[in-house]
Amino acid sequence: MCAEDEVRSMAMPGSIPWDNAAMSRSSADTDEAAFARLFEEFSAPIYNYVLRMVADADRAADITQDTFIKAYRKLHTVTEANSTRSWLYRIATNTAIDDMRRRRMVSPMGDDAAAYENRPDQRPGPEAQVMASTLDERVQRALMTLRPNHRQCLLLSDLDDMSAQQIGEVMGLTYAAVRTLLCRARGDMRRALAAEGFAR
Amino acid sequence: MTMNRHEPFEELISASLTDDLSAVERQRLDTHLDSCAECRATLAAFADQRRIMSGLRHVGPPRDLGARVRGGIERGRFATLPWWRRPAVIFTGVGGGLAAVAGALLAIVLLNAPAEEAPVGAATPSPTPVVSAEPTALATVSAPVFTQPPEPPATLPPVLTPPPSVAPGASVPPSTAAPTPPTIEPTAAPEASPEPDIYLAYTGPIESPTMAVLEEPGASPVAEVEPPSGPPVAAELSPDGQWLAYITQVGQRGTSEVRATRIAEAPTPNEPGASPALASEIAVGETVVLGESLAGSPFLERMAWSPDARYLAFTLADPETAEADAWLFEPANDPEPRALTDVGDAYAASWVAAKDGSPLLWISAAGDRPASHLHAISTQTSADAEPIDPTKDAIATAGGVFQPLLSPNGAFAIYWDGRMEQQEDEAWTFVQGGAPYLAAHDVTEGTYEFSAERLLFSDLDIGQDAFAAAAIAWGGDGDAYAVWDSRWTGRPQSFDDEATYPDQARVYFGHATDPRGLTRIHAIDAGDLRDQATVVDVKVSPTGRHLVITALRPLDGTLSEPMADLLLVTRNTGDVPDEVQVLASGDDGWFGPAAFAIEALVEAD
pLDDT in tens, B381-427: 666 778 899 999 999 999 999 999 999 888 899 999 999 998 777 88
Averaged pLDDT of chain B:
76
Q: Determine whether the interchain pair A163/B19 forms a contact, defined as Cβ–Cβ distance below 8 Å.
A: yes
Contact B198, B243 (CB under 8 A): no
Q: How many Cα atoms within 13 Å fall on the side-chain side of residue B298? A: 26
Q: Determine whether the interchain pair B49/A70 forms a contact, defined as Cβ–Cβ distance below 8 Å.
A: no
What's the confidence (pLDDT) of residue A136? 81
| ipTM for the assembly | 0.75
Read off the pLDDT of each residue in B574-595 and give the average, rounded to a whole number. Answer: 90
Q: Answer whether residue B181 shows pLDDT above 90.
A: no
The one-letter amino acid code at B478 reads G
What's the confidence (pLDDT) of residue B76? 57
What's the confidence (pLDDT) of residue B228? 87
User: Sorting pLDDT into bands at 50, 70 and 90, what band is B361?
Assistant: very high
Contact A116, A108 (CB under 8 A): yes
What's the confidence (pLDDT) of residue A200? 54
The one-letter amino acid code at A92 reads A
Contact B500, B523 (CB under 8 A): no
| Rg of chain B on CA atoms, in Å | 27
Read off the pLDDT of each residue in A106-130 and give the average, rounded to a whole number. Answer: 41
What's the confidence (pLDDT) of residue B276? 59
Q: Which tens digits make up the pLDDT trace of B124-154? A: 223 332 222 333 222 222 222 222 333 332 2
In sequence order, what E strands does B476-578 have?
480-488, 508-511, 534-540, 546-552, 564-570
What's the confidence (pLDDT) of residue B93? 26
Q: How many Cα atoms within 13 Å fall on the side-chain side of residue B246? A: 34
The one-letter amino acid code at B281 reads E
3-class DSSP assignment, residue A69:
helix
Q: What angle do CA B345, B302, A102 make, to 5 degrees?
A: 65
Q: Which tens digits make up the pLDDT trace of A129-163? A: 444 457 788 889 999 999 888 999 999 999 999 99
Residue in A44, A108, A189 closest to B464 by CB: A108
Q: Answer whether residue B470 shows pLDDT above 60.
A: yes
* Chain B residues lying within 8 Å of A59, measured CB to CB: 80
Q: Determine whether the interchain pair B66/A17 forms a contact, defined as Cβ–Cβ distance below 8 Å.
A: yes
Residue in B42, B58, B423 closest to A48 by CB: B58
Residue in B49, B58, B59 closest to A193 by CB: B49
Q: Answer whether residue A21 shows pLDDT above 80.
A: no
Q: How many Cα atoms within 13 Å fall on the side-chain side of residue B117? A: 5
What's the confidence (pLDDT) of residue B489? 85
Q: Answer whether residue B380 shows pLDDT above 50.
A: yes
Q: Answer whether residue A188 shows pLDDT above 90.
A: yes
Q: Which of A62, A88, A158, A191 to mutate to test the interface with B (most CBs of B within 10 A)?
A: A158
3-class DSSP assignment, residue B528:
helix
Interface membership of A172 toward B (CB under 8 Å): no
* Chain A residues lying within 8 Å of B68, measured CB to CB: 61, 65
What's the confidence (pLDDT) of residue A105? 38
What's the confidence (pLDDT) of residue B507? 95
Q: Which tens digits make up the pLDDT trace of B60-119? A: 888 888 888 887 777 655 555 432 233 332 222 222 222 222 222 222 222 222 333 332
Contact B448, B394 (CB under 8 A): no
What's the confidence (pLDDT) of residue B560? 63
Nearest partner of B493 among B454, B467, B471, B468, judged by Cα: B467
* Chain A residues lying within 8 Å of B424, measured CB to CB: 70, 91, 94-95, 98
Q: Answer whether residue A108 shows pLDDT above 70.
A: no
* Chain A residues lying within 8 Å of B489, measured CB to CB: 101-102, 104
Reading phi first (left if > 0) and then psi (alpha if -120 to 50, else beta), residue B369 is in beta
Read off the pLDDT of each residue in B15-20 and give the average, rounded to a whole number. Answer: 88
Residue in A17, A63, A135 closest to B80 by CB: A63
Q: Which tens digits make up the pLDDT trace of B287-312? A: 999 999 998 899 999 999 998 889 99
Helix locations, B329-406, DSSP H? none
Residue of chain A nearest B82, judged by CA positions:
A102
Read off the pLDDT of each residue in B16-35 and give the average, rounded to a whole number. Answer: 90
